[in-house]
Structure formats: structure tokens, C-alpha cells
Amino acid sequence: MLKIAHVGCGGMSAAWLDALKGQADIELVALIDLRLESAQAARDRYAPAAFAGTDFDAFIKENAVDAVFNCTIPEAHFPVTMAALQRGCHVLTEKPLANTLSEAQQMIQTAQQNERILSVIQNRRYQRSIRFIRNCIESGKIGEVSELAADYYMGPRFGGFREEMDSPLLLDMAIHHFDMARFLAGGNPRTVFCHEWNPPQSWYRTGGSAHALFQFENGLVFNYRGSWCTNGAPTSWNAAWRIVGRKGSIIWDGDDRVRIEVVEKASGFMPKARIRKPKIPAAPNHESGHASLIREFIDCIRCGRQPETYAGDNIHSLAMVFKAIESSRKGRMLKVHFRPDK
Ligand SMILES: NC(=O)c1ccc[n+]([C@@H]2O[C@H](COP(=O)([O-])OP(=O)(O)OC[C@H]3O[C@@H](n4cnc5c(N)ncnc54)[C@H](O)[C@@H]3O)[C@@H](O)[C@H]2O)c1
């Protein structure tokens, strides 16, 4: 039985704790939050026999725990993850992995030194729809891909930490879209040019909107337009995507609508495209967000493998975020290329 301590019992924690239901090989031994009432409410709902408290460091010093779920706010990811790794626990953390690249590197080194798994919930790359889109790309239907474009326009009123933090869109949301772009591109970016700003209608302290242009190592270009302060006409949480290949294009609304147009005979002024609108098939369990990532993490602990979203890989998505922020501040294109071991 794998003993798990869950830290951070706020809005997102239900997605984690619901996903644990029916997992026979784990035991939730502690629910911890700076707000005792949140920890107690989660304990009462999900694991009545577990400990509920506010002091993670004290708990982890005195109790045997195999793995820690870090579902705290971004600025607490580093201290909670480091304390867990230093006590010999495996860690699955909410995105973003860390609040800076150097924090992320320290976490990765500590995980390596202690031979522990450190992995990140990038649940959007585990959805059936994006897996389907990637399969379409890999099948060669549209030929070699040269361009990805993603539009993300939303106006959520979260309240809380997002409205106070620096770069909320890029750090707290675009991390998903950038990770999805790496997943679809099958590689890592080389450069970024970004403009981040806070439009007049924004209810965030900083960075409600950003546009970023990435060039990948394989030459592919990724164009991202994002906003967390748009009133009206929202896109999907996954963003709306256009994927341009040598022979055709894929239009994906980010949810369940896909359109594939392929030009088979390129003759005439506007060659006719063959249009298909495939149905995205139902998801096997391993392709369904938090539950699939948590299951993979547990299986990896048991058989000593690295999960798909282990920190050593995820740092490339995080580098896209921080280099985009830096590019905007400096007003110039920057290298993103990042070697986690250096
Ligand atoms: N993967 C996704 O799709 C997704 C969606 C939403 C949020 N998130 C991420 O989940 C994380 C939590 O977001 P949320 O919306 O639940 O925030 P929230 O503010 O609702 O909850 C965070 C909780 O963490 C607690 N906390 C903060 N520091 C702590 C510490 N040092 N020790 C113990 N508890 C601590 C707070 O008291 C709060 O209850 C963030 O990193 C966010 O980016 C991910």
C-alpha cells in the first residue's frame, strides 16, 4: 500500500482526490493545508481516518510517507516539493513545476540525488482529443508540419492568487498550451519573441494577455495568442488550434470538433481539398486528465520508470514560459533552448 500525503486542499484538490477513488493500492494518510478548515473538510470527505493539519514539514518529519501530492499555489510548489524530496518521497505536483527556472533545476537535482520521481500534472496533454490530433499528425495525413497556431481567449473571474501574481496568463495557464505545443510538435523550441501586456479591461494586477512566437528546433513555428481578460466569445480551455502541414491542415476547436483538409492534387488556382470531420473516439482510462496522470505516477513508482511528464522533460515547457516573460521584458527574441543538466 503506497502512503500518500496530499498538500493544498483548495479549488483544484477535488480533481486530484476524486481521481483517487477506487485506487486500491494507495492509502491517503494526510490532508494538509495552511487553512485547517480546508484540510479538515477534505479529510472528512475523502479519508476520514487520515491526519488533517496545517504543518507539512512537521508531518513529514514524523511520519512515513511514500509520495506527496503538491496541489498548493505556485509560490509554495518549491518549498513543499523540496521538503518532500529531501525526506525521500516521490512527488507529483500541480503545474507550474516551479516559480523560477533555477528553482526547477534545484528540484530536479534533488530528485535525482535522492532517486525519487518528480512529475508534473500537465493533464491537458492526456486528454483524448489531443491524443487523437497527435495521432492524425503522426499518421502523415497532412504531411510534415511546419506551423502550429493557438488562440486562447477567456475571461474567468477566479479571484485569489492569480489576480495578484506576476504573469498569471503565461505562468498559470499558457504553461498548458506551451506543453501541448511541445506534445504536438514532438520537439523543443529554440527561440521565442513575446509581448505580454495588461489590457485596460483586465482585472489582473499584471499580464492578462500575451502573444508569443516560438521557433522549434525542427524549424516548426508556433504562434500563440492568449488572453485571460477577454469579455465575450471565449475559446476552449485547450485553446483553438490550426496545424499546417505540407499537404493539408487540421483545425481543432480544442474540444471535440476536428476538421482535416488535405489537398491531394495541387492543380489549378485554388486546388480542391478533401475534407474530413472525424469523430474523436471515446477515451480509454489512461487518456483522461488527472486520473490518468496519477495512475501513471503510481505505476512508475512501482516499476521504477519515469512518467511522461517527469520534471526533467517538463522543464522544457516551463522554459517556454519564463523565456517568453523575459523576452517581453527585454523587448527582443531570446533563445529558449535549455539543457536541464547544465
Ligand atoms: N491542472 C489544471 O488544470 C489546474 C487547474 C487549476 C489550478 N491548477 C493549479 O493547482 C494549484 C492550486 O490551484 P487552486 O486553484 O486549487 O488554488 P487555491 O488557492 O484554491 O488552493 C490552494 C490551496 O493551497 C493552500 N496552500 C498554499 N500554500 C500552502 C502551503 N505552503 N502548505 C499547505 N497548503 C498551502 C492554500 O491555503 C489553498 O487552500 C495551482 O498551482 C494551479 O496552477 C491546475
Chain segment 102-139, per-residue pLDDT in tens: 999 999 999 999 999 999 999 999 998 999 999 999 99
The reply to whether 292 falls in a domain is no
Q: Does 233 reside within a domain?
A: yes
Measured in Å, residue 265 CA sits from the centre of ligand 1 at 52
Query: Would you say the CB of residue 168 lies under 6 angstroms from ligand 1?
Result: no
Are 21 and 113 in a shared domain?
Answer: yes
Q: What is the pTM of this model?
A: 0.94
- Overall size of the chain counted in residues: 342
Task: Report d(CA 106, CA 114) in Å as an integer.
Answer: 12
Residue 44 inside a domain? The answer is yes
Pocket test for ligand 1, best of 6, 7, 9, 12 (most atoms within 8 A of CB): 12
Which of 73, 123, 158, 237 maximizes ligand 1 atoms within 8 Å of its Cβ, making it the mutation to test the pocket? Answer: 73
Q: Name the pLDDT band for 337 (thresholds 50, 70, 90).
A: confident
Classify residue 302: in a domain, yes or no: no
- Residue 321 reports pLDDT greater than 70: yes
The pLDDT score that the predictor gives to residue 24 is 82
**Residues 80 and 212 reside in one and the same domain:** no
Q: Is residue 296 part of a domain?
A: no
Which residue lies with its CA nearest to atom 3 of ligand 1?
123
The pLDDT value recorded for residue 285 is 53
CATH number, domain at 184? 3.30.360.10
Contact 74 CB / ligand 1 (< 6 Å)? yes
Please tell me the distance between residue 72's alpha carbon and the centre of ligand 1 in angstroms.
4
β-bridge mates for residue 216, sequence order: 189
Residues 222 and 141 in one domain: yes
- Tell me the three state secondary structure of residue 331: coil
In the chain, alpha helices (H): 13-19, 36-46, 56-62, 74-86, 101-113, 128-138, 168, 175-185, 290-303, 311-330
Residue 41 belongs to some domain of the structure: yes
DSSP structure class, residue 200: T
Contact 337/316 with Cβ under 8 angstroms? no
Asked which of 121, 141, 175 is the last residue of a domain, the reply is 121
**Distance in Å, CA 259 to ligand 1 centroid:** 36
State in Å: Cα 15 to ligand 1 middle: 11
- 243 strand-pairing partners: 148, 250
Q: Cα dihedral angle (165, 170, 176, 181), rounded to 10 degrees?
A: -170
Atom of ligand 1 nearest to the CA of 158: 15
**CA 333 to ligand 1 centroid distance, Å:** 32
Do 80 and 180 fall within a single domain?
A: no
193 Cα–ligand 1 center, Å: 29
- CATH number reported for the structural domain that contains residue 102 in this entry: 3.40.50.720
Total domain count for the chain?
2
Same domain, yes or no: 138 and 79:
no
Is 35 a pocket residue for ligand 1 (Cβ < 6 Å)? Answer: yes
For ligand 1, say whether the CB of 71 is within 6 Å of any of its atoms. Answer: yes
> What pLDDT, on a 0 to 100 scale, did the predictor assign at position 342?
45
Condensed to tens digits (0 to 9), the pLDDT of residues 152-166 reads: 999 999 999 999 999
For residues 225 and 331, membership in a common domain is answered with yes
Q: What is the pLDDT of residues 193-250, one digit of tens each?
A: 999 999 999 999 999 999 999 999 999 999 999 999 999 999 999 999 999 999 999 9
Assess if residue 306 is contained within a domain. Answer: no
Range of the domain at 54: 2-121
